[in-house]
Chains A and B, each alone.
Chain A
């Protein structure tokens, strides 16, 4: 069964601090991995997308890593801001279907305190 597991489930950090979120997946055959940010009451918004051959990708203060051998990814947030408070969802896509099926993690709920 294709699964995406994220940790921690929730995280509280102080403004200005860094943090790292983890994602482990078993989706196969692997196509790509995305990190989405979902604000409360809103739809998810893509932060980064990584394919099999990429192991690091940055988007401003967000840096995602991918180890396709161990099927692990991380999202590192530097110099956190209050607006970073949201759920961060790891989403893995397989290449076994024409639909481009997505497999979602449950997300890490990040709270940034002033």
Chain B
């Protein structure tokens, strides 16, 4: 079954730790995204990727970094977590296998999210 997965679902860590949030999709989508969402607020795009070896920063400035070595995998890394990084992180993907970049119309499918708390 095609889907998009995120691990861990919940993470509580101390300040200064390095963390990696995992995101994988089995739909063969070329485009992938990371969003940050605080309670009661809209989703903010922090990173996106058009495909393998492509990564771009989104609208919201973030100290995190991403990589896209494989089509299905788009991990997000924080080198030194701080309490200001406490938030929900949502991964998404879009596009059909083999298609080029499309404008607007393709639906984004979201993972279940990772709730990060930095103490």
Contacts and interface: CB of A to CB of B under 8 A. Distances in A.
B113 A99 contact: no
Given A104-B42, A107-B42, A34 B107 contact: yes
B6 to A, nearest CB: 8
A49 B94 CA distance: 15
Contacts, number: 72
A8 interface: no
Interface of B: 4, 6, 9, 31, 40-45, 48, 50, 90-92, 94, 101-113, 115
Nearest to B110: A43
B10 to A, nearest CB: 9
Given A49-B107, A107-B42, A43 B113 contact: yes
Q: Which residue, of A41, A51, A89, has the highest number of chain B Cβ atoms within 10 A?
A: A41
- B contact patch SS: loop
Nearest to B40: A106
Interface size class of A (residues with CB under 8 A): 20 to 34
25 contacts: A41-B112, A42-B113, A43-B6, A43-B90, A43-B91, A43-B113, A44-B110, A46-B109, A93-B104, A93-B105, A95-B104, A96-B103, A97-B103, A98-B102, A99-B101, A100-B94, A100-B103, A100-B105, A100-B106, A102-B108, A104-B43, A104-B44, A105-B42, A106-B40, A109-B40
A15 interface: no
Contacts of B92: 43
A40 B43 CA distance: 14
B112 A42 contact: yes
A4 B41 CA distance: 12
B115 A43 contact: no
Given A100-B94, A104-B43, A41 B113 contact: yes
